[in-house]
Amino acid sequence: MSRYNAPFEIHVHGQVVLRPDAVYDQIQDALRPMWKYAGAKSLADGAASLYEDEPGIEFDPQEHLLQICWTVNGDEDFRQTLDEVCMSLNDLAERGAALEITFYDTDFDEEEEPPEAESRDDFMLLFVGPNPAAIMQVQRDLLVQDVVSTMERHFDGAELGGVVAEIDKLFAQRFDSLVDSLEIGKPPRGPGGNNGGHGGRRPRHLH
C-alpha cells in the first residue's frame, strides 16, 4: 500500500502495561490494523517507524510493557484504525494508559502559504484499559497533572488540595453515572432483588 502522497504523517506515542498472561501473538493481533495500514505483513515487519530515530513498536515480555513511538504516512481514515486497536488493547491491558496521536500536515509549508492559511495538524488523546474505572483513573491523573502544573505558576502546590478534590468529585459523579446506566435493564439479583450495589470498582482518589 503506497502512501508516499499521504496528506499526513501520523505519530502514535504511549506505553501500555499488559496483563502478565498476554503473549506476542495476541499483541500482534491487537495491533494488526496498525501494521496492515503501514502495508506490512506482520507486526515484526511493521514495527519500524517511518523515522529511524524512533524505536517504533516494542514489546518487553519481562516488564509486560508495550511501548509505541511510531510514525506512519496516512490520511483521516487512520482514526478508524486507532479505534479498532484501542478496542483490542482494552482486552490485554493490565491498567489504564493514554496514547498520544499527532497528525502532521505534510502539505502545509508555513513559508509558502498565505498568512491566513492554517495547517491541518491535529492532536488527540486516546485511552485504553481493562475497565471504565481504569480508564477514568488515567484520565483523572492526566487532568490533575495539567491543572496543577498550570496553577502552580500562581499558587503553591500545597494550596491546591481543594482543586484536586473538586476534580475527584467530577470523576466520581461521572463514574457513578456510568455504573447506574449499566445497571439499567439488568434483572435483580438474589431473592430480595438486591443487586449488591454498583458492583463496580471506583477509581482510586475518587472519594
Q: What is the pLDDT of residues 123-159, one digit of tens each?
A: 999 999 999 889 988 988 888 888 888 888 888 878 7
What is the predicted pLDDT for the residue at 113? Answer: 56
Tell which wins on pLDDT, 98 or 204: 98
Q: What residues does each domain of the chain span?
A: 8-110+118-130, 136-183
The conformation of residue 67, written as its DSSP 8-state character, comes to E
> Which of 18, 86, 92, 11 lies closest to 55 in space, CA to CA?
11
The model's pTM is 0.74
* Mean pLDDT across 105-126: 71
Place of cell 519500524: 48
Q: What is the 3-state secondary structure (H, E, C) of 119-176?
A: CCCEEEEEEECCCHHHHHHHHHHHHHHHHHHHHCCCCCHHHHHHHHHHHHHHHHHHHH
Confidence check: pLDDT of 4 > 80: no
pLDDT averaged over every residue in the chain: 83
Residues whose CB is less than 8 angstroms from the CB of residue 136 and which lie 6 or more positions away in sequence, other chains included = 96, 171, 174, 175, 203, 206
The x, y and z cell numbers of residue 24, run together, are 506476542
Other beta carbons less than 10 A from residue 159's beta carbon: 11
Model pLDDT, residue 196: 39
Q: What is the pLDDT of residues 39-77, one digit of tens each?
A: 999 999 999 999 999 999 999 999 999 999 999 999 999
- Cell numbers at 167, concatenated: 476534580
Separation CA 63–CA 78 (nearest Å): 29
C-alpha to C-alpha distance for 98 and 10, rounded to whole angstroms = 16
Q: Pick one of 1.10.287, 2.60.40, 3.20.20, 3.30.70 as the CATH number of 8-110+118-130.
A: 3.30.70
183: left (phi over 0), alpha (psi -120 to 50) or beta: alpha
Name the β-bridge partners of 72.
Answer: 10
- Residue 94's SS3 state is coil
